[in-house]
C-alpha cells in the first residue's frame, strides 16, 4: 500500500471511530488533499526542513487517565471535557450552563447537534487552506469541543477542555470551536498534559473562537507540549462589532512548537488583549506569535508577552500588529519582555507593525531581552532576603499579572507548579 | 542582645578604580543619632551604599564592625539580617510583588526560620505602622514602589524600617523631594523608633531635617572623609553660614570626590 493510501485510510478510520456523519468525511478528504498540495512553509525562526511531516497514529483504545490529570480534574468545579489521545473520556456540563441553554458537546457531534451554527462557522476562522498544518488538522482532527453560548449568556465559571497525550505514537490533532452569541460573556480554557512522545510526528492543534457583536470571551490556555514531536498551534478569534476577546496564554512546553494566537478584530469597535507567559527550559524551541489584525474601524488591541528562559531553551516571542487599509482610528500597544536566567538560552523578542492605514490613533511597541535587573535584586537583598529567593520573587512578580488572569484556581496552581518546577532547580 | 555598637574604621572605597572614600571613621552606639552633612559629591551616598554592600562599590581598606561581627565579610542580605538597614535615596520598583508580601518576606528572613511572624499578627502590625505613618491602607497591596510618588517611596522606606526594627539604620537623603508635611511624617517615624536598641546615621545636605530629628552628633564630610564633628549646634552653624568658612579654615579648595547622581 502506498503512503498516500495509508494516510487516506487513516482519515477514514478517525472519522469512523468518532461516529461522524459522512458530510464531515468529505471535508476531511478535501483538507487532506490540500495538505498534500500545499508547499513546505517557511517559518522565520524555525527551520522546518529538519522536521518531519510524518503523521501520528490514531488509537481506538481508550487510554488510561494519568494520576496527575485525575487529581487536576477532581478539583474542577466548572464544566469540562477530557480527551485522552484524542478520544472523549469524561464530560461535565454544570447546572448553571444547562440552565443557560448552552450547547456543549464534542466537535464530532456538533454537525448533528448544531447544524446551522456548525455550517456557518466551522473552518471559517482557521481555514484548511491557510497552511500545511491547518489543512492537516482539518483532515485528521480528533478530540475537541463545540461550545455555543446563546445571546446574553453570562457565566463566570469557565468551560475547560483538557487534552491529554499519554505518549506512544499518537498524533495530536485537537480542534475546538467556541461561539459566543451576541452580548454573551463567557470564559473558555484549554489545558494540555503530555508525556514525551514515543515517535517523532507532526501535530497540529486548532482553536476557533467566534465572538459575535457585543460579546466578551476570556480564553485561557496552559500548554505543555512534549519533546520529540513538532507542534503547530493555531488559535484565532474572529471578533465582531464591539466584542472583546482576551487571551491568557501560559506556555511551558519543552518541545518544538510553532504557535499563533490571534485576534481578527473584524467588527467596528472590536477589542483584543493577549497576555502571554512563556517558560523556556531544557532544549525547548518555541516560536510564539501573538497577533492582532485590525480590520474594523476604531478597533483596539494590546499584547503583553513575558518570557523566562533557562538551560538551552530557544524562545522566539513575536508581537504582531496589523492594521489593514480602512481600519480607521485603530489603536494598539505591544510589550514584549524576556528575561534570561541562564546565559546558555537564546531569546528573540520581535515586534512587528504592519500598517496600511494612515489614520491610526496610536501604535506603541516595546521589546527587550535581558537579565534580571540587578538593582531590584540588591534592593530585596538589602532587606535581608537571600539572593536566590529575591530572584524568584522578582520573576514571579514579573509573571504575576498574567498568571492571575488565568481562568480558574486549579489552572493557576497548575501553571505555577509547572513554572516553579523549572525555576527552583 | 545588648546595645548596638557599630564601628567604621579607616574605610577606603573605590568606584571603577577611582577612590571616593579616603579613610573614614565613625562610631555609633544604640540610642545615638549621627548626622552626616556635606555638599554634593563629597562621598555621602557612597558611604551609605558601601556599608550596605552594593556590588558597585569596592572596599579597598578598612574595617566595619557591627556588634563584634565583621560586616565587610557579609553579603548584603546577611548585613540586613545582622541588623543593618539602609533607607535608600532611589529605591527600586518591583512590579508584581506586593508591598506587604515583600515586607513579610524581609521580616521573616530577619527573624529566621522557625521564628516567622504568623500572617495575622504580621498584618495587624503592618496596619498599625502604616497608620502611624499616615499611609493609606491600600499601600500594602500595591506593587513595591511601582508608580509611587517620591514622597510615597520615602515613607515606604520608613515603613520598612519600622517593621524590620534594625539595630543600625542608615537614612540616605530621606528628606530629598519631600514637602514639609511629608518631612514631618518621616521625622516622626524616626523619632518613634528612637531607643537604646537602635542607632541612626542620617545623611543629608539640608539642615532642615535636623530641626525635626535632633542629632547627638553632626559630622561634616569633604573629600571622602569626615573633616569636622560636633553636636547639633554644628548643623545650625552650617545652615547659617554655609560650608565656605569651614573649607577656608581647613584649607580645602575642592571638597568633591565624585559626581553624585
Q: Given this model, what pLDDT does residue B141 score?
A: 94
C-alpha distance from B93 to closest chain A C-alpha (Å): 7
Do B80 and A396 count as a contact with CB atoms less than 8 A apart?
Answer: no
Do A382 and B75 count as a contact with CB atoms less than 8 A apart?
Answer: no
C-alpha distance from B203 to closest chain A C-alpha (Å): 18
Task: Read off the pLDDT band of B36 (50, 70, 90).
Answer: very high
Of A39, A37, A15, nearest in space to A27 by CA: A15
The answer to whether residue A391 is domain-embedded is no
Stretch B184-192: mean pLDDT, rounded? 91
Inter-helix orientation angle A374-381/B99-111, to 10°: 50
The contact set of A with B (CB < 8 A) is 373-376, 378-387, 389-390, 393-394, 396-401
Ranges of chain A whose pLDDT falls below 70: 1-8
- Model ipTM? 0.95
Mean pLDDT of chain A: 93
B75 interface with A at CB cutoff 8 Å? yes
Mean pLDDT of chain B: 93
- Pairwise CA distance, residues A266 & A250, whole Å: 25
Q: How many CA atoms lie within 13 A of A99 on its CB side?
A: 5
Q: Given this model, what pLDDT does residue B259 score?
A: 53
The answer to whether residue A260 is domain-embedded is yes
Do B96 and A385 count as a contact with CB atoms less than 8 A apart?
Answer: no
| pLDDT tens-digit map of B105-126 | 999 999 998 999 999 999 999 9
Q: Where are the beta strands (DSSP E) in A87-168?
A: 87-92, 103-106, 145-149, 159-165
Size of interface A-B (CB pairs under 8 A): 83
Do A382 and B94 count as a contact with CB atoms less than 8 A apart?
Answer: no
- Pairwise CA distance, residues A279 & A252, whole Å: 5
Write out chain A residues lying below 8 Å of B91, CB-based. Answer: 379
Do A378 and B55 count as a contact with CB atoms less than 8 A apart?
Answer: yes
Write out chain A residues lying below 8 Å of B164, CB-based. Answer: 383-384
Q: Who has greater pLDDT, A257 or B1?
A: A257
C-alpha distance from B172 to closest chain A C-alpha (Å): 14
Residues 6+ apart with CB under 8 A from A372: A339, A341, A391, A394, A395
Candidates A366, A374, A376, A384: best to mutate against B (most CBs of B within 10 A) is A384
- Pairwise CA distance, residues B200 & B29, whole Å: 9
Q: Given this model, what pLDDT does residue A2 score?
A: 44
Write out chain B residues lying below 8 Å of A393, CB-based. Answer: 94, 97, 101-102, 105
The answer to whether residue A43 is domain-embedded is yes
The answer to whether residue A423 is domain-embedded is no
Do A393 and B110 count as a contact with CB atoms less than 8 A apart?
Answer: no
C-alpha distance from A158 to closest chain B C-alpha (Å): 25
Closest CB to B95 among A381, A387, A397: A397
Stretch B21-49: mean pLDDT, rounded? 95
The answer to whether residue A380 is domain-embedded is no
Q: By CA distance, what is A392's nearest residue in B?
A: B97
Instruction: Name A332's bridge partners.
Output: A301, A363
Do B97 and A386 count as a contact with CB atoms less than 8 A apart?
Answer: no
Strands of the A79-84 sheet, one edge to the other: A87-92, A79-84, A159-165, A185-194, A216-223, A244-251, A271-280, A300-309, A330-340, A360-370
Domains, chain B, ranges and CATH?
Answer: 5-93+168-250 (3.40.50.300)
Closest CB to A381 among B76, B95, B110: B76
Closest CB to B160 among A383, A398, A399: A383
The answer to whether residue A35 is domain-embedded is yes
The answer to whether residue A256 is domain-embedded is yes
Do B164 and A393 count as a contact with CB atoms less than 8 A apart?
Answer: no
The answer to whether residue A103 is domain-embedded is yes
DSSP of A221-249, one letter per residue? EEE-PPSSSEEEEEEEEEE-TT-EEEEEE
Write out chain B residues lying below 8 Å of A373, CB-based. Answer: 92
Do B77 and A387 count as a contact with CB atoms less than 8 A apart?
Answer: yes
Owning domain of residue A55: 3-371
Q: How many domains does chain A have?
A: 1
C-alpha distance from A374 to closest chain B C-alpha (Å): 9
Amino acid at each position: 500500500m502506498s503512503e498516500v493510501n495509508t494516510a487516506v485510510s487513516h482519515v477514514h478510520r478517525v472519522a469512523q471511530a468518532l461516529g461522524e456523519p459522512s458530510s464531515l468525511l468529505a471535508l476531511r478528504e478535501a483538507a487532506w488533499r490540500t495538505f498534500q498540495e500545499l508547499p513546505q512553509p517557511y517559518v522565520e525562526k524555525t527551520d522546518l526542513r529538519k522536521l518531519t511531516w510524518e503523521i501520528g497514529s490514531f488509537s481506538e483504545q481508550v487510554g488510561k487517565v494519568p494520576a496527575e490529570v485525575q487529581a487536576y480534574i477532581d478539583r474542577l468545579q466548572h464544566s469540562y471535557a477530557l480527551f485522552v489521545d484524542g478520544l472523549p473520556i469524561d464530560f461535565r456540563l454544570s447546572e448553571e450552563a444547562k440552565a443557560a441553554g448552552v450547547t456543549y458537546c464534542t466537535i464530532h457531534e456538533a454537525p448533528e447537534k448544531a447544524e446551522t451554527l456548525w455550517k456557518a462557522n466551522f473552518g471559517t476562522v482557521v481555514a484548511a487552506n491557510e497552511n500545511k498544518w491547518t489543512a492537516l488538522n482539518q483532515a485528521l482532527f480528533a478530540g475537541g469541543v463545540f461550545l455555543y453560548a446563546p445571546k446574553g449568556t453570562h457565566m463566570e465559571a469557565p468551560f475547560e477542555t483538557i487534552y491529554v497525550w499519554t505518549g506512544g505514537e499518537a498524533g495530536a490533532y485537537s480542534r475546538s470551536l467556541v461561539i459566543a452569541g451576541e452580548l454573551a460573556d463567557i470564559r473558555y480554557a484549554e489545558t494540555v498534559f503530555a508525556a514525551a512522545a514515543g515517535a517523532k510526528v507532526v501535530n497540529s492543534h486548532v482553536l476557533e473562537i467566534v465572538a459575535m457583536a457585543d460579546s466578551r470571551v476570556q480564553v485561557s490556555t496552559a500548554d505543555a507540549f512534549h519533546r520529540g514531536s513538532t507542534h503547530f498551534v493555531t488559535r484565532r478569534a474572529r471578533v465582531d462589532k464591539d466584542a472583546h476577546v482576551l487571551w491568557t496564554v501560559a506556555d511551558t512546553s519543552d518541545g518544538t512548537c510553532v504557535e499563533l494566537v490571534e485576534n481578527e478584530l473584524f467588527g467596528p469597535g472590536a477589542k483584543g488583549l493577549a497576555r502571554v507567559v512563556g517558560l523556556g527550559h531544557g532544549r525547548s524551541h518555541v516560536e510564539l506569535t501573538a497577533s492582532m489584525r485590525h480590520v474594523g474601524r476604531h478597533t483596539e488591541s494590546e499584547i503583553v508577552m513575558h518570557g523566562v528562559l533557562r538551560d538551552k531553551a530557544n524562545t522566539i516571542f513575536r508581537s504582531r500588529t496589523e492594521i489593514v487599509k480602512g481600519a480607521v482610528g485603530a489603536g494598539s500597544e505591544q510589550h514584549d519582555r524576556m528575561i534570561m536566567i541562564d546565559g546558555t538560552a537564546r531569546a528573540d523578542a520581535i515586534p512587528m507593525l504592519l500598517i496600511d492605514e494612515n489614520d491610526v490613533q496610536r501604535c506603541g511597541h516595546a521589546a527587550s531581552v535581558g537579565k534580571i535587573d540587578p538593582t531590584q535584586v540588591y534592593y530585596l537583598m538589602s532587606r535581608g532576603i537571600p539572593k536566590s529567593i529575591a530572584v524568584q520573587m522578582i520573576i514571579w512578580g514579573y509573571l504575576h499579572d498574567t498568571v492571575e488572569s488565568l481562568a480558574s484556581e486549579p489552572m493557576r496552581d497548575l501553571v505555577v507548579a509547572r513554572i516553579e518546577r523549572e525555576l527552583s532547580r | 542582645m545588648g546595645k548596638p555598637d557599630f564601628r567604621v574604621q579607616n574605610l577606603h572605597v573605590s568606584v571603577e578604580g577611582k577612590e571616593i572614600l579616603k579613610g573614614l571613621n565613625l562610631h555609633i552606639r544604640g540610642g545615638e543619632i549621627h548626622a552626616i552633612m556635606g555638599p554634593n559629591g563629597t562621598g555621602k551616598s557612597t558611604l551609605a551604599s558601601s556599608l550596605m554592600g552594593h556590588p558597585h562599590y569596592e572596599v579597598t581598606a578598612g574595617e566595619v564592625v557591627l556588634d563584634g561581627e565583621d560586616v565587610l565579610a557579609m553579603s548584603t542580605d546577611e548585613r540586613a539580617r545582622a541588623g543593618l538597614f539602609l533607607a535608600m535615596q532611589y529605591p527600586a520598583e518591583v512590579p508584581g510583588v506586593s508591598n506587604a508580601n515583600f515586607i513579610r518576606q524581609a521580616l521573616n528572613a530577619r527573624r529566621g526560620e522557625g521564628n516567622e511572624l504568623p500572617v495575622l499578627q504580621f498584618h495587624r502590625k503592618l496596619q498599625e505602622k502604616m497608620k502611624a505613618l499616615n499611609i493609606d491602607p491600600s499601600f500594602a497591596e500595591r506593587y513595591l514602589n511601582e508608580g509611587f510618588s517620591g514622597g510615597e517611596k520615602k515613607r515606604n522606606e520608613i515603613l520598612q524600617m519600622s517593621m524590620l526594627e534594625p539595630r543600625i539604620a542608615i537614612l540616605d537623603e530621606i528628606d530629598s523631594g519631600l514637602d514639609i508635611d511629608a518631612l514631618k511624617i518621616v521625622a516622626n517615624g524616626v523619632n518613634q523608633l528612637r531607643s537604646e536598641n537602635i542607632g541612626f546615621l542620617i545623611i543629608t545636605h539640608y539642615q532642615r531635617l535636623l530641626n525635626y530629628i535632633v542629632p547627638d552628633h553632626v559630622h561634616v564630610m569633604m573629600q571622602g572623609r569626615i573633616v569636622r564633628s560636633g553636636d547639633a549646634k554644628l548643623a545650625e552653624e552650617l545652615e547659617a553660614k554655609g560650608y565656605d568658612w569651614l573649607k577656608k579654615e581647613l584649607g580645602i579648595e575642592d571638597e568633591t570626590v565624585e559626581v553624585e547622581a
